[in-house]
């Protein structure tokens, strides 16, 4: 029954979107029959890259899974402006749900990278959350917003927003942190340090695109 409503809701959303703005490919501008940021041919322009570990501390690395490097059509998808922004995040989530090596990813929970309140107001929504929502739906894994981002005089920092009483339920779970792009890994490193208080079995990073120099 839940699945039926999900499908119904999606179809309704597509119909409304098609009326508001007919779908066309953001790259080659051809009209599309179904709502999508890119046509199937343009999606093939995304060059996949292999998983590459990120060092967090000496002797501690986490795997990073990405659709590709941050350039070309993928960069365009992530920086998609105006109306298609939210759609681009959903599409990125769909691509990530299907086109990374899920057989090798250990995933019990997806955790979106948070924005602080100023960023949220400026952007209107959190792309990482929208991407994670799509992945959670397609991969049928729970989404938990376990992190909060704040700012002080020393810059941004993260806290785990789980009470002590609830922390135990995340112990020995495989956590996958989701973000749209990893350029420098500063924020992700901070977030991973903080998440370790939950004593998860593993932490992995899943991003739409990554810079190849970190
Ligand atoms: Zn196209």
Query: Domain containing 203 — which CATH number?
Result: 3.40.50
Cα separation, 53 vs 73, whole angstroms: 24
36 with 110, same domain: the answer is no
114 with 203, same domain: the answer is yes
Which helix or strand (DSSP H or E) is residue 160 part of? strand 155-160
User: Whose CA is closest to 209, among 144, 136, 131?
Assistant: 131
38 with 137, same domain: the answer is no
50 with 13, same domain: the answer is no
The answer to whether the beta carbons of residues 95 and 43 sit under 8 Å apart is yes
| pLDDT above 70: residue 32 | yes
61 with 41, same domain: the answer is no
Query: pTM of the predicted model, to two decimals?
Result: 0.84
Looking at 30, 45, 60, which one is the last position of a domain?
Answer: 45
SS3 content of the chain, % helix, strand, coil (to 5): 40, 25, 35
2 with 35, same domain: the answer is yes
38 with 144, same domain: the answer is no
Q: What is the mean pLDDT of the chain?
A: 87
**Range of the structural domain that residue 179 is part of:** 46-210
| pLDDT above 70: residue 15 | no
1 with 53, same domain: the answer is no
Q: Which two tokens stand for residue 170?
A: 């995340």
Cα separation, 70 vs 52, whole angstroms: 14
Cα separation, 67 vs 65, whole angstroms: 7
Q: Which two tokens stand for residue 64?
A: 């990073």
Looking at 45, 60, 76, which one is the last position of a domain?
Answer: 45
Q: Give, as one character, the DSSP assignment of residue 200.
A: -
Instruction: Tell me the CA–centroid distance for residue 14 and ligand 1, in Å.
Output: 19
What confidence tier does 2 reach under pLDDT thresholds 50, 70, 90? low
Place of tokens 């990530």: 96
33 with 78, same domain: the answer is no
Cα distances from 140 to residues 88, 151, 154, in angstroms, run 21, 33, 38
pLDDT higher at 3 or 96:
96
Instruction: Tell me the CA–centroid distance for residue 34 and ligand 1, in Å.
Output: 13
Instruction: Tell me the CA–centroid distance for residue 73 and ligand 1, in Å.
Output: 10
Lowest mean pLDDT, pick from 18-22, 36-40, 160-164: 18-22
Q: How many CB atoms lie within 10 A of CB 9?
A: 10
| pLDDT above 90: residue 49 | no
What confidence tier does 56 reach under pLDDT thresholds 50, 70, 90? very high
Q: Which two tokens stand for residue 111?
A: 């955790």
Reduced to 3 states (helix: H, G, I; strand: E, B; else coil), residue 95 is: helix
Give residue 18's pLDDT.
54
Neighbours of ion ligand 1 (CB under 5 A): 25, 27-28, 39, 42
Count of domains for the chain: 2
Lowest mean pLDDT, pick from 53-67, 87-101, 103-117, 119-133: 87-101
Q: What is the CA radius of gyration of the chain?
A: 18
125 with 85, same domain: the answer is yes
Cα separation, 136 vs 131, whole angstroms: 9
Instruction: Tell me the CA–centroid distance for residue 35 and ligand 1, in Å.
Output: 12
33 with 99, same domain: the answer is no
Instruction: Tell me the CA–centroid distance for residue 75 and ligand 1, in Å.
Output: 15
Phi/psi for 72 (5° steps) reads 55, -135
22 with 50, same domain: the answer is no
């Amino acid at each position: 029954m839940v699945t039926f409503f999900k499908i119904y809701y999606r179809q309704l959303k597509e119909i409304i979107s098609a009326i508001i703005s007919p779908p066309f490919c953001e790259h080659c501008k051809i009209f599309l029959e179904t709502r999508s940021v890119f046509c199937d041919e343009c999606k093939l322009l995304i060059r996949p890259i292999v998983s590459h570990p990120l060092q967090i501390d000496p002797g501690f690395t986490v795997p990073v899974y990405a659709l590709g490097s941050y350039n070309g059509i993928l960069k365009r998808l992530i920086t998609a402006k105006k109306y298609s922004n939210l759609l681009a995040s959903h599409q990125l989530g769909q691509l990530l749900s299907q086109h990374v090596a899920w057989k090798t990813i250990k995933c019990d929970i997806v955790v979106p990278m948070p924005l602080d309140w100023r960023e949220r107001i400026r952007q209107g929504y959190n792309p990482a959350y929208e991407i994670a929502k799509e992945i959670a739906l397609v991969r049928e894994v729970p989404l938990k917003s376990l992190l909060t981002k704040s700012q002080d005089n020393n810059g941004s920092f993260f806290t785990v927003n789980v009470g002590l009483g609830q922390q135990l339920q995340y112990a020995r779970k495989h956590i996958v942190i989701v973000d749209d792009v990893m350029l420098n890994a500063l924020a992700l490193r901070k977030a991973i340090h903080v998440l370790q208080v939950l004593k998860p079995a593993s932490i992995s990073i899943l991003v739409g695109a990554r810079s190849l120099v970190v």
